Amino acid sequence: MTTLHPFLAHRLIGTGTSVFSEMSALAAKHHAINLGQGFPDFPGPPWIKAAAEEAIAGDINQYAIAHGAPVLRQALAAHYSPRLGRDLDPNRDVVVTSGATEAIFASVLGLVNPGDEVVIFEPFYDSYVPSIDFAGGVPRYVPLRQPDADHAEWWYDAAELEAACGPRTKLILVNTPHNPTGKVFTRAELQHIAGLAQRWNTLVLSDEVYEYLTFDDAEHISIATLPGMWERTLTVSSAGKTFSLTGWKIGWVIAPPSLNAATRGTHQFIVFCSATPLQAGIAAALSLADDHGYYDQFRTEYSQRRDVLLAALADAGLPAFAPRGTYFALADIRHLPYIDDVAFCRALTVEAGVTAIPPTAFYSEGHRELGRHLARFAFCKRVETLEEAAHRLHRWASPTAQAAGKC
């Protein structure tokens, strides 16, 4: 990076290009079905798009108030008050951001001083580490472990988390439901994390962008609802996943003013405000979703998509962990003759015409080994797209294709 781009600031050294951009470009080049980057290939609900169109036609097109258009803050306060079990104040407890990515970046930048430690679970969403680095913070990694004979689900070692926390910890970053493992943190785990936050007087940033994507009996719990945690938690979410509108980039932070002052303070100088007519659209989405029976239908459709993908992977000899939440599944590729996940994902794009994400991008240097035998497949796609992917994977996995030297 330094030789190629001598003018770049040191903070960009080693950041490279996001794995999502890289794999989407590769998918486009090879006309592959892109099960890599997590964006739906179906449209968002027409009644939400109509609300944004009306806002544009009605000239709601100038800057919004920096911390959010009142109509959206009111809708968010009404929506999250029952979910978080408290009477939220739209003026004090809500900040609208440009997606969850900016919510996390702005919050970390507003809270973390150089040298402060931030505990994150691995694998992690790829923007977490640059956000911490740019603030001068120090990430402390706690790996999630695969299901095994003693653990039916992805799990973490309590002692490892306890060892990562200490007097220098400023923030514990939690993501539930978790990308890319599909883990939904249990109440007992969240209580353990909450206990550590209280013991070390640290804050929690809880990334809950997949809050509506839980399957079977998995229950999404916001850590902010646990006793004593409202005062120390910033709850982050966004409209992208829940309303299948990832390009709108409307996100938010729900937190008491003492914490969200950090988000507001940086957000006003990063973007000042997020797109005004799209805020109006998401306000309508939140207000009308229940009337449309939206959330139940959303979950039902995603359960079907998940089943189609899991069956396709199993059929192609790529056994996957059934996710409890999110729209991702991790397949185990250790039995295949590729040197690592990157080689596999590149080869699969070229040979099968299906793209996945290599999860080592979501691990720190020291723990890359934990992701080398995995590949992440997204199922936020039309059933027909997933069926076409199933067909391609089946063909790729067939003995004839193997004999043709696909590996």
- Alpha-carbon distance of 165 to 306, in angstroms, equals 35
Selected range binding ligand PMP among 78-86, 95-103, 253-261, 305-313, rule: CB under 6 A: 95-103
Residue 121 or 230 with smaller CB distance to ligand PMP: 121
Tell me how far apart the alpha carbons of residues 289 and 110 are, in angstroms, rounded to a whole number.
33
Instruction: State the virtual CA torsion across 86, 89, 90, 93 in degrees, nearest 10.
Output: -80
How far does CA 63 lie from the centroid of its chain?
Answer: 27
For residue 390, the minimal CB distance to ligand PMP (Å) is 24
Provide the total of helices (H) and of strands (E) in the chain, helices listed first. Answer: 14, 13
Q: Please, what is the end-to-end C-alpha distance for the chain in angstroms?
A: 31
Site string for ligand GLN, 174-213 (x = CB under 6 A): -----x----------------------------------
CA-based nearest residue to 48, from 237, 207, 240: 240
Binds 238: which of ligand GLN, ligand PMP, none (CB < 5-8 Å by kind): ligand PMP
Site residues for ligand PMP, 199-228, by CB under 6 A, read 207, 209
C-alpha span between 182 and 177 (Å, rounded): 6
Q: Does 248 bind ligand PMP (CB under 6 A)?
A: no
Q: Report the alpha-carbon distance of residue 218 to residue 211 in Å, rounded.
A: 11
Q: For residues 359 and 124, is the Cβ–Cβ distance under 8 A?
A: no
| Number of neighbours of residue 183 by Cβ within 10 angstroms | 25
Q: Which does 37 bind (CB under 5 to 8 A by kind): ligand PMP, ligand GLN, none?
A: ligand GLN
Measured CA to CA, the distance from residue 5 to residue 17 in angstroms comes to 13
27-46 footprint of ligand PMP as x/- string (CB under 6 A)? -----------x--------
Count of residues touching ligand PMP (by CB under 6 A): 14
**Which window, 75-83, 96-104, 331-339, 347-355, contacts ligand PMP (CB under 6 A)?**
96-104
Token digits of residue 70: 């009142």
143 binds ligand PMP (CB under 6 A): no
Q: How many residues bind ligand GLN (CB under 6 A)?
A: 5
Q: Does 37 bind ligand GLN (CB under 6 A)?
A: yes
Give residues in contact with ligand GLN (CB under 6 A): 18, 20, 37-38, 179
Q: Which positions touch ligand PMP (CB under 6 A)?
A: 38, 99-101, 125, 175, 179, 207, 209, 238, 240, 246, 249, 251
